[in-house]
Structure 1
């Protein structure tokens, strides 16, 4: 046991020495997190992700050096290249006002490509196959996750015990400890499991080095049992269910079914991952899986890709649809490769993944440029067909078909959610604020009816555009939150004193929705308001489903209820509606007449 611990500690020390530039980036990541924790302020995500990308680039460059190079000067050149690429990444994102969905997605895709390169490079023209390298990384990940979780739990318990039993510890101590574990320990521990694979300068590796490689790529008996007798049979059952579903529902509306696409994509990912893991196994179950399932994968992927392409004709290209179709093409190639080539050629799919990832993030054919151009063209085409676009300006027209209204609403909503409106001169930036949409196009937003009952509705007050609320005419202001599922909140009383008279405002759950009751000192009810009616008035005619929801001015966000005794104005700062449940935050302005 002592010897194993010593060897593991030596492995961690060797990992630090083996990946020096990566260690510097990891220290930078931990430092920027520590500063953020200490100052209780958000860190600059652009610096953080630059350091993460830099760490991954330097790890891949070290793998390239070990596999193909022999001179120290080549190593320094690769390190320099990693630094330049990391700097280029920072220059590419620093002009963005926020770390938006485009930058986030491109960064995630780039990191995924680097991860694939990290696994693939040691297997290029090597005795070690991609399947073995993948198995090594797979084991290292789960062992690291287990050790990190145990370490995090243990340190958290120690900090808590000291704070409760001995002396007070700053609440920041826990965050600092987690930062060290997950920013430094976890990646270094993971890299310590990566053996030095055979390279150009390692033609005559020592027996000890070869044994380390063999141990790293070997499949533990328990993992072999798990893959062969649990994961593969479960995948087979999932396949049968999927095929039965396809056969029973194969008709016209089948291709437009929103359930189909994510179901087929998830199945494809599962089969590819299980196939790669099973490629390192030598038993009947694994061999049968490798022989049959890739051939089933091909028609399944064709279904998924056709369904995705059909959706383009309806809604145009979005960045999500772009990636789904590109994944479909990749999966089709993977199915063909798995079906007709030996398992030692599996590394080709890593090369294809890296190429596809690069295509999807490099303009002008990247996912976001293609989707933006397509959505703008679809919008212009729809407007032009209805004589609503002349000399670069929009002409309002309410007398167009419902389908065209939906297309216009959908495309404008997508462009707005991606912050592309700033690049389109003939569209106002705050298109969904107040009545801008109606004033621009001549009609209110129109959304698809399909599945509407189960989709989320959301509206919120735009405080930036409406920072001031006039309250001089009211006697009191009350802040309330309403959530239908919080039954224990029913009957809660809020005492209010106005001109030496006491009143009580009560939230009462009645028939699944809260009613608000205001009574005086004699327990006489002055007014009763149904919260559902208030929220429906906000969401009613101009409701938005999904995305960022509808942005409201103070006027649009205010609902009034009054009688000859009381006036109550409800200023809804935010309201969510899903599956007959409402969650709202609001201010109630009260005036006793």
Structure 2
């Protein structure tokens, strides 16, 4: 009976969330329908609509939170829904249709959705007795309960469908995907929303005393901290954070005069550390014991100098390598973390929401031109490249003059700035920057030197060549009797065994034996009497193909990729499809043509 009762409560909660968030349900239904069409057609015809509907789901949820906190009239609700719908439509027209997976679109959308999620959690706490810490705890619990429950249902349903398909009768291959689409697109969001209580009505009126008591009970339940989570935060997460902080502080103190200011690998570590401290601080703000109280008193003050030093270090790097969107967000987050540390240090715990409001503002500012991360980084990297070229007399009348006799530092600046502009597709907006700078040969022709990077060690980069993909592959088998494709990778070879490929020519059985001896490939062709017809050591072939001249090329022609080995019995023609060498280890794919003389 208890199970039945729990199921009833679950479905009642989902139904209640559906009536409470009607616009969100409409967006979810449309999203599920388009997902279904995409599954059936196996084409990305609706990707721009899917992105738009996802943004609409989050916007409509925020609109409902605003209505519940500040308004109570039906027409006000409709106005908020209309505004959310207009913003969703606006997003559709803003995103590019040709290159939907552009990095800029993805990051801006992610930042916008992240800001909306934070706003969804923050809104019920504005001018209310509910604190952000309590609202965050409720959202945190709901997310993990929903994730666990959804994964169990998804895995269970998939297992049942798999068993039916294998043991009873065949099912459509796409049925499982359609079922998972319903689970993840409809059930999971509605189940999550069912955990969100109606915190405080703007009118503060309830239909009955029972309704008020039920609402207050649900609020208390949602913001309460589970005992397991209390123990986990107090005795596991906080001690680990303390140890990690001690290591970071030791590193900073030992390297404050040297590598700390130039260590690029430290940036993501310190950002993740700041995120961890802030999240743990907010979660621990709803727990009252000696460990959490001590953590809240000390760690905001420890956080401030750490993120402040890293922010300064990131700003100093701008002078050498300019601003990218990554460094923009690192600096912006460093400023936020410093402000958050000050708020956590000097304001009461119940005022933590002020820090989140700052983060939401920063997120919105970072995606609005002309101060967004991408506009700023594009202008900065363009100016950095242009200024470096002008300083070295390499840019005149909007034309680049190749020059190799410049400093290594300037070569690195030019390489990384041009790489950034090309990878972000900004090179098309710069008239004097040629196309196709991704090609090593085109880059060297344009600037007069090979690409150079900071801390680059040519010996560690390995060597690589491949067949040109711009040409149509038209391999003639004339004069040869058999053709095969070789896949030479040591991971595929058991050092104690031989790999054989058998074939028949003119009624005679042959086998090509691949051996890996002393870190070298040896190919042997044997007849049906196991007599060796030819043996080819692949090492000289590898070295002949991996010359400096070939490596610089974007792709080899068929003639350039061809090597012939023969004796008085057999002729073998190798055409390299791709070949690479790293740390004295060779890997590659070849086309092999065989002629028995």
Q: Does 1:467 align with 2:469?
A: no
Partner of 2:536: 527
Partner of 1:160: 162
Q: Does 1:233 align with 2:235?
A: no
Q: 465-474 vs 372-381, which deviates more?
A: 465-474
Partner of 1:546: none
Distance 1:494-1:187 versus aligned 2 partners, 3 A rule: same
Deviations 1:233-287 (A, max 9, x none): 1111111122222223333123222332122111111100000000111111110
Partner of 2:502: 495
Partner of 1:515: 521
Q: Distance in 2 between matches of 1:246 and 1:40?
A: 51
Q: Distance in 2 between matches of 1:121 and 1:557?
A: 67
Q: Distance in 1 between matches of 2:510 and 2:564?
A: 16
Q: Distance in 1 between matches of 2:275 and 2:581?
A: 33
How many angstroms does 1:304 deviate by? Answer: 1.7
Q: Does 1:571 align with 2:580?
A: no
Distance 1:255-1:195 versus aligned 2 partners, 3 A rule: same
How many angstroms does 1:430 deviate by? Answer: 1.5
Q: Distance in 1 between matches of 2:128 and 2:445?
A: 65
Partner of 1:353: 359
Deviations 1:165-190 (A, max 9, x none): 21111221221111111111111101
1:106 touches 1:361 (CA, 8 Å); kept in 2? yes
- Aligned-residue Cα RMSD (Å) equals 2.8
Give SS of 1:160's match. helix
Distance 1:395-1:482 versus aligned 2 partners, 3 A rule: same
Unaligned stretches of 5+ residues in structure 1: 544-549
Q: 396-405 vs 288-297, which deviates more?
A: 396-405
Give SS of 1:294's match. helix
Please point out which of 418, 431, 450 is paired with 1:444: 450
Partner of 1:363: 369
Partner of 1:220: 226
Q: Distance in 2 between matches of 1:280 and 1:456?
A: 53
Deviations 1:190-246 (A, max 9, x none): 110000110312256712111111111111112111111111111111111222222
Q: Which has the larger radius of gyration?
A: 2
2:336 touches 2:358 (CA, 8 Å); kept in 1? yes
Please point out which of 74, 79, 85 is paired with 2:81: 79
Q: 271-280 vs 242-251, which deviates more?
A: 242-251
Deviations 1:18-65 (A, max 9, x none): 111111111111111111212233353211111100000000000001
Partner of 1:245: 251
- Compute the TM-score of the two structures, normalised by the length of structure 1: 0.91
1:117 touches 1:354 (CA, 8 Å); kept in 2? yes
Q: 199-208 vs 163-172, which deviates more?
A: 199-208
Please point out which of 261, 276, 284 is paired with 2:282: 276
Q: Does 1:102 align with 2:104?
A: yes
Q: Distance in 1 between matches of 2:581 and 2:203?
A: 64
Give SS of 2:199's match. coil
1:569 touches 1:590 (CA, 8 Å); kept in 2? no
Q: Distance in 2 between matches of 1:287 and 1:577?
A: 56
Q: 558-567 vs 24-33, which deviates more?
A: 558-567
Distance 1:140-1:579 versus aligned 2 partners, 3 A rule: farther
Distance 1:233-1:572 versus aligned 2 partners, 3 A rule: same
How many angstroms does 1:584 deviate by? Answer: 4.3
Count matched residues: 583
Distance 1:420-1:583 versus aligned 2 partners, 3 A rule: farther
Q: Distance in 2 between matches of 1:186 and 1:454?
A: 47
- Compute the TM-score of the two structures, normalised by the length of structure 2: 0.90
Q: Does 1:405 align with 2:426?
A: no
2:468 touches 2:557 (CA, 8 Å); kept in 1? no
Q: Distance in 2 between matches of 1:138 and 1:265?
A: 21
Q: 449-458 vs 40-49, which deviates more?
A: 449-458
1:558 touches 1:572 (CA, 8 Å); kept in 2? no
Give SS of 2:331's match. helix
Please point out which of 396, 399, 409 is paired with 2:402: 396
How many angstroms does 1:381 deviate by? Answer: 1.2
1:58 touches 1:82 (CA, 8 Å); kept in 2? yes
Partner of 2:175: 173
Q: Distance in 2 between matches of 1:494 and 1:209?
A: 73
How many angstroms does 1:402 deviate by? Answer: 2.6
Deviations 1:296-355 (A, max 9, x none): 101110122122223322221111111111111111111111111111111112211111
